[in-house]
C-alpha cells in the first residue's frame, strides 16, 4: 500500500547535482521571481537605511561626479567632448559606468557574501546575480531620468545636441552591460571562493578599466596607433552608441556593437559554465 502511494506522489521539485553546465535554468528561476522581488526590495531598503538623504543619493552621486569630471577632464585637462555639452557628455558616461561597475562588484561577491544563505536554503543560485542586476537597474533608471532632464534642456533651449533613431537601442545596450557585468562577475565570484585575493585585484582592476573605456573621453581623441586598445574593449561600442544616440557625437559604427554583442555572449556563457560548476561544491572552500 505504501509503495502504491509513493508511486502516485507528484513531486514539484527534485534537487540533485546532475545538471547541464550550459543550462541557465531560466524556467526554474522564473518560479522564484517572488524571491528576486524580495531581494531587490531588501537591497533598496538596506542601501538607504539610517541615511539622512535616502534615495537622493541616486542624484547626488552622478551630479557631483559629473561636475568633478567637467572641471578635471573638461577644463583642466581640456579633453575633447566631440562638440557635445560637457555636462551631458560626462553625465552619460557616469550613469553607464555606475551601472556596470555596481553590477560587476556586487555579482563578483555572490558566493562569499551569501554563503550563510546558500548553506541553509535551496533556490536557483542564478537568482542572486539576476537580483543584483535588477536592483541596480532601479538606480540606473533614476539617473537615466536625470540625464534625460538635462538632455531636454540642451535640446530645447540650446540646440547643441542631436538625438537620433539609435535611442531605440537603449534597452539592448542596458541588457549588454548587465550581461557583461553578470558574466564577468560570476567568473570572479567562482574563482574567489578559492582565491580570495582576486577580490582585491578586481577592485583595483575595475578602477583602471574605467580609463580604457570611453567614459570621460571619446575614442576620437586616442592616437591612431593606440586606438585598437579601446576598440577591443566590449564596453566601447556600448558607450559610443549611447553617446551617438543621445548627443549625436562620436565615431560609432554598427560593427562595434556587433563585436560587443558577440564578445559579451561568450563571456556570459563562460561565466555560466564556471558558476554552474562551482555552485555544487563552493561551500567546501568558501
Buried-state track 33-42, b at ≥16 Cβ within 10 A, e below 16: eebbeebbee
Q: What is the pLDDT of residues 225-267, one digit of tens each?
A: 888 888 899 999 999 999 999 999 888 889 999 999 999 999 9
Among 109, 106, 107, 120, residue whose Cα is nearest residue 283: 120
Question: So what's the pLDDT on residue 1?
Answer: 47
Report the alpha-carbon distance of residue 89 to residue 71 in Å, rounded.
Answer: 13
pLDDT in tens, the chain (286 residues): 445 555 455 655 555 555 555 555 667 777 777 877 888 877 777 766 655 556 677 788 899 999 999 999 988 888 888 889 999 999 999 999 999 999 999 888 877 766 667 666 766 777 888 888 988 988 899 899 999 999 999 999 988 899 999 999 999 999 999 999 999 998 888 888 777 767 778 888 898 999 999 999 988 888 888 888 888 999 999 999 999 999 998 888 899 999 999 999 999 999 888 887 776 655 444 4
Encode the chain in three state secondary structure: CHHHHHHHCCCCCCCCCCCCCCCCCHHHHHHCHHHHHHHHHHHHHHHHCCCCCHHHHHHHHHHHHHHHHHHHHHHHCCCCCCCCCHHHHHHHHHHHHHHHHHHHHHHCCHHHHCHHHHCCCCCCCCHHHHHHHHHHHHHHHHHHHHHHHHHHHHHHHHCCCCCCHHHHHHHHHHHHHHHHHHHHHHHHHHHCCCCCHHHHHHHHHHHHHHHHCCCCCCHHHCCHHHHHHHHCCHHHHHHHHHHHHHHCCCCCCHHHHHHHHHHHHHHHHHHHHHHHHHCCCHHHCC
- Domain residue spans in the chain? 21-284
Q: What are phi and psi of 199, to 5 degrees?
A: -65, -35
pLDDT at 103: 92
pLDDT for res 98:
94
- pLDDT in the model for residue 155: 93
Amino acid at each position: 500500500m505504501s509503495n502504491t502511494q509513493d508511486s502516485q506522489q507528484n513531486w514539484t521539485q527534485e534537487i540533485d547535482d546532475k545538471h547541464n553546465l550550459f543550462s541557465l535554468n531560466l524556467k526554474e528561476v522564473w518560479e522564484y521571481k517572488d524571491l528576486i522581488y524580495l531581494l531587490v526590495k531588501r537591497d533598496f531598503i538596506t542601501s538607504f537605511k539610517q541615511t539622512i538623504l535616502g534615495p537622493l543619493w541616486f542624484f547626488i552621486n552622478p551630479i557631483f561626479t559629473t561636475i568633478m569630471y567637467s572641471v578635471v577632464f573638461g577644463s583642466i585637462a581640456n579633453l575633447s567632448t566631440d562638440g557635445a555639452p560637457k555636462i551631458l557628455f560626462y553625465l552619460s558616461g557616469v550613469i553607464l559606468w555606475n551601472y556596470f561597475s555596481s553590477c560587476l562588484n556586487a555579482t563578483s561577491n555572490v558566493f562569499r557574501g551569501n554563503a550563510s544563505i546558500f548553506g541553509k536554503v535551496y533556490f536557483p543560485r542564478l537568482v542572486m546575480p539576476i537580483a543584483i542586476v535588477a536592483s541596480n537597474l532601479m538606480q540606473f533608471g533614476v539617473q537615466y531620468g536625470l540625464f534625460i532632464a538635462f538632455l531636454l534642456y540642451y535640446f530645447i533651449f540650446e540646440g547643441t545636441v542631436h538625438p537620433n533613431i539609435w535611442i531605440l537601442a537603449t534597452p539592448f545596450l542596458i541588457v549588454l552591460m548587465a550581461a557583461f557585468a553578470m558574466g564577468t562577475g560570476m567568473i570572479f565570484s567562482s574563482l574567489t571562493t578559492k582565491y580570495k585575493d582576486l577580490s582585491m585585484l578586481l577592485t583595483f582592476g575595475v578602477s583602471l578599466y574605467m580609463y580604457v573605456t570611453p567614459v570621460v573621453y571619446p575614442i576620437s581623441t586616442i592616437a591612431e596607433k593606440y586606438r585598437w586598445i579601446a576598440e577591443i574593449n566590449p564596453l566601447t561600442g556600448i558607450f559610443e552608441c549611447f553617446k551617438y544616440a543621445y548627443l549625436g557625437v562620436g565615431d560609432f559604427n554598427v560593427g562595434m556593437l556587433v563585436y560587443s554583442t558577440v564578445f559579451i555572449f561568450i563571456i556570459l556563457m563562460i561565466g555560466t559554465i564556471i558558476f554552474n560548476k562551482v555552485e555544487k561544491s563552493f561551500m567546501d572552500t568558501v
